[in-house]
Amino acid sequence: MAIYQRVALIGLGLIASSMAHAMRQGGLAGEIVGHARSAETRAAALEIGICDRVFETAAEAVVGADLVVLAVPVGAMGEIAAEIAPHLAAGATVTDVGSVKQAVIAAVQPHIPEGVHFIPGHPLAGTEHSGPRSGFATLFRNRWWLLTPCEGADPGAVARLRSLLEAMGANVDTMDAPHHDLVLAVTSHTPHLIAYTMVGVADDLRRVTDSEVIRYSAAGFRDFTRIAASDPTMWRDVFLTNKEATLEILGRFTEELFALQRAIRLGDGDHLHEYFTRTRAIRRGIIEAGQDTAAPDFGRSSETATGPGPKAKG
């Protein structure tokens, strides 16, 4: 049964296309329309059937929609919100899938007209792939989708959006935006920055040739490269808009790194063993929570008929 009669997807990349596949599979939307800046992307969306109609402008796409999903880079949210604001239907819900919430709220909320519900959101799901052809219906299955409703949000609108997300297979939780940004700085943003740095370091070590880096990549470096393959525009915007929380966690990381350097330099095996035992327990907790698998390849070595295996996304 359709939860929304017309869903407008603004931006047609991995998350939006996966939402479309999941909604079609579950009959959760009467009509799915979309917008992308690229004519090639719009054509692909029609070709693979993720949208019933596509539009050259976001303003055209949102007309008559009772759910609008902003699936564009965080840095573009404000401009899109300003464009679509005069064309939003009364009673419609606007949500987003950005990895940062305080900056999105600051950019979008001032443009939302009276009578339209703005419910910021963030699906903790993704792969290193992008574009409309990368989506698949099971991307959100047993993954968390965080909602950060603003003060005074309509409970009925929040419940309706939650029902859609849960019907797509997601686990839904709510939290305030500042806490979201701090949590994600720990679980996603800083790890991505470290991964980018580690891959950059390997590139700079001229004593290790490119062929050796590629040929002899063990699981650790290989998974760093998987994370570092994420969309550069998205991650540029994440770090520019979640600056304070990311810098706070980077500071803590630097302190921990110095402590480990000292332990290695002094040959303090007890400190290293205790530290690694504690961090190993966190890994076990992630597996027990069903957010990854204990398989040596982390469950991501092959692609199934439904698409690439899940990988955490910020």
Residues of the chain predicted below pLDDT 70: 203-219, 293-314
- pTM of the complete model: 0.79
Residue-level pLDDT at 205: 62
Residues of the chain with CATH 3.40.50.720: 4-175
Q: What is the CA radius of gyration of the chain?
A: 21
Residues of the chain with CATH 1.10.3660.10: 179-288
Return d(Cα 1, Cα 20) in angstroms, integer.
Answer: 15
Return d(Cα 72, Cα 233) in angstroms, integer.
Answer: 10
Query: Coil, strand, or helix at residue 32?
Result: strand
Question: Distances in Å between the alpha carbon of 32 and those of 11, 55, 67, 188, 214?
Answer: 13, 12, 10, 30, 42
Q: Which residues pair with 266 in a beta bridge?
A: none
Give alpha helix (H) positions in 139-231: 155-167, 177-184, 190-204, 210-215, 219-228
User: 179-288 is classed in which CATH architecture?
Assistant: Orthogonal Bundle (1.10)
Residue-level pLDDT at 215: 65
In tens, the pLDDT along 249-285 reads 888 888 988 899 999 999 999 999 998 888 888 777 8
Return d(Cα 173, Cα 190) in angstroms, integer.
Answer: 22
Residue-level pLDDT at 301: 45
Contacting residues for 296 by C-beta, under 8 A, at least 6 apart: 219
Lookup result for tokens 């219906």: 137
Return d(Cα 192, Cα 235) in angstroms, integer.
Answer: 8
Lookup result for tokens 């939650």: 162
Query: What is the phi/psi pair of residue 5, to 5°?
Result: -80, -35
CATH 3.40.50.720 fits 4-175, yes or no: yes
Tell me which amino acid residue 10 is.
I
Residue-level pLDDT at 223: 74
Residue-level pLDDT at 235: 81
